[in-house]
Structure 1
């Protein structure tokens, strides 16, 4: 073997970690056999399998990985958005960016939930289903429309950063960036510092991406140790419809929009989104995946930082295509299970509510189920029906996060192309951004 042999790509290493975690998870599920505790004799010691491995090693490793990604979100969003905003020579451009990005995100969300409702009505996942559930779902009160707009503006930006309120961070970063752009020489010195800071943060992203296969392994191992497959079996039709619409939206709708609005080759786009989509799938969080999405959009897809620093964080906050798909299918499913006939007006209300609510509830924990509760209440369906689908929501949440991340990148490409801030050479280069996937740590010892 020579030193010139190619190393495994990051995508392949993540896939290996994911499959290994899945296999280990099922192995531990088999060993436990439904028992809450089972010991394994190792080196003369009785080690509790679940406590030591599942709740110990797997849980700790996965949580550290998620925390490491989330650690970067606030500084990355703030610094990159300040850099992007202060680089705008025309401040009116910001209004155009916002209008295009928000408009595209709302349109794709409306398309997503319309497809979901249509597919659910055709397949009837809840017809003939008689399910009982002793689970309950507590509905958190949703903010009013007026309060949504009030909450966008931070009274304390430091508190907003500490709590991770992305909409407030975006607003403060945009205002700060505009102030830097309008401050002459002092602003230029500040902008140079932020640009250097941004480079350092992106290097940190690259460092953490090398640890991703291990983090993905821990997350998958824990998930598939604790996931009850019998739960999926009872909801297989609902699960299948949601999964089909998610994949159709991610691979077909996004591809058609990208091709029709930019003329770009969607196959290249989907290939380059593999790493970010896998991150989204394993973390189930658009915010946690944001550092990887930013790097992919900038270095692999050729979107200028002045565009991506705005569209990607905004998308991670308000783009809910995957969640909208779940809401559409779940609404029809719950209506069919409880024998409630929904009118055309009800379906239009579902589409409108879910599309508008994607902005208002973006910062609420458990956003998908909270938004679904709002939608169900709007059309008079029993909110208790959410308890029927909670069991399989974790797996579907992983897939819809991958769809959301892909949508963020797709909209970024469209907006960048329309603004002339797109590098076609980088987009068409299959090796763009690949050179920094692996890092030689040995020189750090010298």
Structure 2
């Protein structure tokens, strides 16, 4: 999962640097519409090795609460991931006393409740987004003409090109070389799930169909699909990670900020981590985009620049997320011993 997401991020970074969709836009044409003012470029963290070492050192916070209060996103995300992992370990440790496991289960349920409440609040805010986007586009068009739409079209085309390259070239190559499967036949088997993901923009909502297609038509062993696909729908977000990298650099280009290689590595690492924690729901990537921008010192209001085209891109990147889950599932299936009953006709057709 981490491997495919990392490749997706670097595909996105490659194309946004080559095309530079925001480089030709006057900063005032979009930035003042989003409510931004004069903005100081973030400080270059140094060379590549310095950045890598600094980010790994910063992953473990001395004070998690202080890190969250100071918007230190990488250590906050890392601490949250580790806390979740060890909550699961202790809760399912048979050698622990029952009272301890019950207490840890209570902690888990508390965070599940907090997550559900915060997610519901976020969804209610997102429900009002079309009103804000309408006002944004209306004012932008009146104040700056079609330059706004040219910039957004260039951004959307860059994201679409990067997603297409990852979905139609990178993932099929991995499927053919590692899983030893026909990309054309496997894609045909998974097509209903991919189309459903595109129409709903929800990986979680598509999960039952994805599992059914992988097992019944893709020849994947049921135990493998039952384990890999739900996990992938939660933590494997290739399309989301790619989108966040492209969007962050586009926003930097609009503001006239040239991010160094080191800063782009920070974008890549942050995008990888937040994609792991992104919910499989519509617009989850746009919500997590604020975290990526904050990590490299870009203004969070820059998210407003891309919301006008986010819905269509959300549908596309969700399809890539589900396709990546399916490819990884096929790869894992190849290296998993098959029970006798797994040799069915569906497996022979792929």
Decide: shared fold, TM above 0.5: yes
Pick one of 7, 12, 16 that aligns with 1:116: 12
The 1:313/1:160 distance shift into structure 2, 3 A limit, reads farther
Cα deviations by residue, 1:408-446 (Å, 9 ceiling, x for unpaired): 11101100111133757414438xxxxxxxxxxxxxxxx
Unaligned stretches of 5+ residues in structure 2: 37-67, 89-104, 117-129, 139-145
Task: Tell me, yes or no, if the aligned pair for 2:293 and 2:300 is still in contact at 8 Å.
Answer: yes
Report what 1:149 is aligned to: 82
Which structure has the bigger radius of gyration? 1
Matches of 1:340 and 1:162 in 2, distance apart? 39
Cα deviations by residue, 1:282-310 (Å, 9 ceiling, x for unpaired): 00000001011010111111111211111
Q: TM-score, normalised by structure 1?
A: 0.54
Say whether residues 1:330 and 2:263 are aligned partners. no
Report what 2:25 is aligned to: 129
Say whether residues 1:387 and 2:304 are aligned partners. yes
Matches of 2:167 and 2:349 in 1, distance apart? 22
Report what 2:91 is aligned to: none
Q: How does 1:241-390 map to 2 (within 5 A)?
A: 241-362=158-279, 366-390=283-307
Report what 1:401 is aligned to: 318
Pick one of 418, 425, 429 that aligns with 2:349: 429
Q: Which moved more, 1:311-320 or 1:353-362?
A: 353-362
Matches of 2:175 and 2:304 in 1, distance apart? 37
Report what 1:235 is aligned to: 152
Matches of 2:321 and 2:115 in 1, distance apart? 19
Report what 1:196 is aligned to: none
Tell me how far 1:117 sits from its aligned partner: 0.6
Q: SS at the partner of 2:172?
A: helix
Q: TM-score, normalised by structure 2?
A: 0.68
The 1:328/1:164 distance shift into structure 2, 3 A limit, reads closer
Q: CA RMSD in A?
A: 3.1
Matches of 1:127 and 1:244 in 2, distance apart? 18
Q: How does 1:54-133 map to 2 (within 5 A)?
A: 105-130=1-26, 131-132=29-30
Unaligned stretches of 5+ residues in structure 1: 1-104, 166-221, 431-446
Tell me how far 1:144 sits from its aligned partner: 3.6
Cα deviations by residue, 1:87-128 (Å, 9 ceiling, x for unpaired): xxxxxxxxxxxxxxxxxx101110001010100111110011
Matches of 1:151 and 1:377 in 2, distance apart? 23
Matches of 2:198 and 2:187 in 1, distance apart? 15
Matches of 2:277 and 2:166 in 1, distance apart? 23
The 1:144/1:111 distance shift into structure 2, 3 A limit, reads closer
The 1:300/1:232 distance shift into structure 2, 3 A limit, reads farther
Q: Which has the higher contact order (CA 8 A, sep 6+)?
A: 2
The 1:390/1:311 distance shift into structure 2, 3 A limit, reads same
Matches of 2:321 and 2:343 in 1, distance apart? 23
Matches of 1:260 and 1:300 in 2, distance apart? 21
Task: Tell me, yes or no, if the aligned pair for 2:175 and 2:181 is still in contact at 8 Å.
Answer: yes
Q: SS at the partner of 2:306?
A: helix
Cα deviations by residue, 1:188-232 (Å, 9 ceiling, x for unpaired): xxxxxxxxxxxxxxxxxxxxxxxxxxxxxxxxxx9xxx9x89886
The 1:365/1:279 distance shift into structure 2, 3 A limit, reads closer
Q: May I ask how many residue pairs the two structures share in their alignment?
A: 265
Task: Tell me, yes or no, if the aligned pair for 1:232 and 1:391 is still in contact at 8 Å.
Answer: no
Moved runs in structure 1, 4+ residues, more than 3 A?
133-137, 139-144, 151-154, 156-165, 228-234, 360-366, 421-425
Cα deviations by residue, 1:117-147 (Å, 9 ceiling, x for unpaired): 100111110011133364579x997654222
Tell me how far 1:350 sits from its aligned partner: 1.5
